[in-house]
Structures are given as C-alpha cells and as structure tokens.
Amino acid sequence: MSAQTLSLAKAINLGLRQALIDNDKVLLMGEDIGPLGGVFRVTEGLQAEFGEKRVLDTPLAESGIIGTAIGMAMRGYRPVIEIQFDGFIFPGFDQITSQLAKLTARHEGSLSMPVVIRVPYGGHIGAVEHHQESPEAYFAHTAGLRVVTPSTPHDGYWMIQEAIASNDPVMFFEPKSRYWPKGEVEMDASGSDLHTSRVVRTGTDATLLGYGPMVNVLLRAAEIAAAEGRSLEVIDLRSLSPIDYDPIVASVQKTGRLVIAQEAPGFVSVGSEIAATITERAFYSLEAPVMRVAGFDTPFPPAKLEVTYLPDADRVLEAVDRAMAF
C-alpha cells in the first residue's frame, strides 16, 4: 500500500483522518462537515469515526468558527476549520487577520496558534456568486499567516498533515476544480516540505509558474507548446507564503523567460509579487519582462462567462508568445 490512486478530495480526507489519529488535540470544525461530510464531502465519514467532540458541526457563523477556534488553540487544541466556499471567508476575515495572525506576536512568543483554515477556492464549477473566487492574496499579504495550496492528490494528502503539524496558522487553499480527478498518492513519504516550490515539468525556452488549479492548465499548455517544438518548464508554487524562490530563480536563469498564471485578479496579487522579486533576483537572466496571466480585475462574473474570465492554456501560450518575441 505504498501508493494509491485517489482524488484530491479523498486524499485530503485521508490526510485529515491520519491527523486525527496521530494527535488527539486535532479537531475539525465547520458548517455541514458532520453527517453530510461537507459540501464537497472532504470530511465524509470522519464524524462517524471520531465522534462529535472531534468533528464539530458548528453554527453558521464564520467569525464565530474562527474566533472560537482561536480560543481552543489557546487551550492547546489544534483546530482545522473548513470554510464552505472561498467567498464566505470574509465574515471571518477580521478574526483571521486581526487576531489569529497576530496573537503569537502579541504574546511575544509564549502562545502559538496551530490553526488550519481550509478554503475550497477557484472557478470552473459553474456556481453562483461568491462560490468561485480566489482570495488568497489577502492572506498572503498578512504577516503571521502561512498560505499553501496543493495541486495534486499526493500534495493534498501530505500538505494537509504538514499544515496541521505546523505551530503557525496555515491558510490551506483547496482547488475545487481539481477535487475529483484522480492521481497517484505515495502513502509512505511526501518527498518535500510544506513551503517548497517544485519543478513539475522541465523545459528550456520559458518557465511557466502557477499554483493550485492553474498547474494542470500550465501542464496542458506545455504539452501544446511541445507539439509545436517549444520547450516549457512548469513550476508548481505550492506555498504562497512564504514563497520558495530558489527553484524559480534557478529556472529563470536557465530559460530567461517567466510567465505567471493565476485565477485571481492580477492587480496586487501573488503573481505581481513574484514578478517584482524575480526582476530583483534574476534581472540579468531575463530575456523578456515577466508576464502575468490572471483573472480580470472585475468581480467574478456569472458562471456562463467563467471560461472567458479564467485563464486557459491559450491565454498562457499567448503570453509565452509575447515573452518569446522579445
């Protein structure tokens, strides 16, 4: 049983289960995570196995969930919260940014805040307003938080356990569009640390960088480009805060070109930050400006427009063409 073929949703489910087994201070909290197993079924079966004291169906109040989780962490527990959808995190934003993120500093280190907040995020599910957003930049901007996002079932299984083991608060963004495709999960070892980025396809002409739901899009773009004789390297960022820059810098030093892709709006975003830093750290290696491919700077549109709003392989390759034209 060293490897299993699992969906991301099931892999995270098994990762949560393992964390509940490993440490009896680990608790799950959220809306509809008990008998229903969450609206995406990520917690399916866990309340039945571990009981209502370990897997809490809470009242419908995000600030209440996060604020009480903070109190439980003060008591020595390790709460893992499920926010139902990306757009529903904002009622809890104050408790996350003003309290959770700052309490360790406010206590001058005598208190740690091992709280994980799981957030299903991103588009491609055809849902109504507030159900397809990518709010990760707000949290990456906030000191005191760690922000990660898996793109594969293997990373889902391991990164959730590593996030729960962290003594710092971790925002754990789960790409909804990747919940159901299956992939190999190595059950014996993760192969990397939580805050590392990873080259997932090697190439020589340009580097594509993305995270979460975009990684699969980038791999598809690289396939298409390869058929046209262009060799693209793909990096899965995995950690949005802190960012593991060394593999990105090494890749850009090799390829000379960087295209960053994300579903989130581009203005003041994770992609903006990386573009600025790579310009500082790899200026003389760059053959072209760092290109960004992002959601538009509009509210997420009604679902019938989402395929236009969300970056796809064609938009990525258009940016590659512009980079190569320099």
Partner 1 sequence: MQYTPATVQLLSKEGKLVASDAAAEYLPYIEQLSDQQLRDFHRNMVVIRMIDVDAANLQRQGQLAMWIPSLGQEAAQVGSGFAARPQDHLFPAYREHAVARIRGVDPIKLIALLRGISHGGWDPKENGNFHLYTLVIGSQTLHATGYAMGIQMDGATATGNLETDEAVMVYFGDGATSQGDVSEALVFAASYQTPEVFFLQNNHWAISVPVTRQSRTPLYLRPSGFGIPGVQIDGNDVLASYAVTRANLDAARSGEGPRFIEALTYRMGAHTTSDDPTKYRANQDVEFWSAADPISRFEAYLRSRGEGDQFFADVAAEGADAASDIRRRIHDLENPAVSSMFANVYSEPHPVMDAQLAWLEAYEASFDGAEGGHA
**By CB under 8 A, residue 23 contacts partner 1:** no
Residue 146 binds to partner 1 (criterion: CB under 8 A): yes
Q: Which x/- pattern over 65-84 shows residues binding partner 1 (rule: CB under 8 A)?
A: -xxxxxxxxxxxx-------
Q: Are 37 and 46 in contact (CB under 8 A)?
A: yes
Interaction of residue 272 with partner 1, rule CB under 8 A: no
CB 76 within 8 A of CB 24: no
Site map 239..268 versus partner 1, x via CB under 8 A: ---x--------------------------
Task: List Cβ neighbours of 240 (8 Å cut-off, separation of 6 or more).
Answer: 136, 140, 147, 148, 149, 173, 211, 270
The one-letter amino acid at 29 = M
Of positions 1, 59, 188, 304, contacts partner 1 by CB under 8 A: 59
| Separation of alpha carbons 125 and 144, rounded Å | 31
Question: Residue 132 CB, nearest distance to partner 1 (Å)?
Answer: 25
- Residue 291 corresponds to which tokens in the numbers above? 């290109």
Of 1, 2, 108, 325, the one binding partner 1 (CB under 8 A) is 108
CA distance 88 to 113: 22
Give CA–CA dist 80/113, Å, rounded.
Answer: 11
Quick one: which of 4, 18, 23, 104 contacts partner 1 (CB under 8 A)? 104
Site string for partner 1, 187-226 (x = CB under 8 A): ----------------------------------------
Residue 318 interacts with partner 1 (CB under 8 A)? no
Burial of 318 (0-12, 13-18, 19+ CB in 10 A): middle
Burial class (CB in 10 A: 0-12, 13-18, 19+), 242: exposed
Q: Which of 7, 151, 166, 207 binds partner 1 (CB under 8 A)?
A: 166
Query: Token match 């990105």: residue?
Result: 248
In the block, residue with structure tokens 């090494």: 250
Cβ distance 251 to 290 under 8 Å? no
Q: Segment contacting partner 1 (CB under 8 A): 5-13, 162-170, 256-264, 318-326?
A: 162-170
CB of 3 to partner 1, least distance (A): 30
What residues make contact with partner 1 under the rule CB under 8 A? Answer: 27, 53, 58-59, 61, 63-64, 66-77, 91, 94-95, 98-99, 102, 104-113, 143-144, 146, 166-168, 242
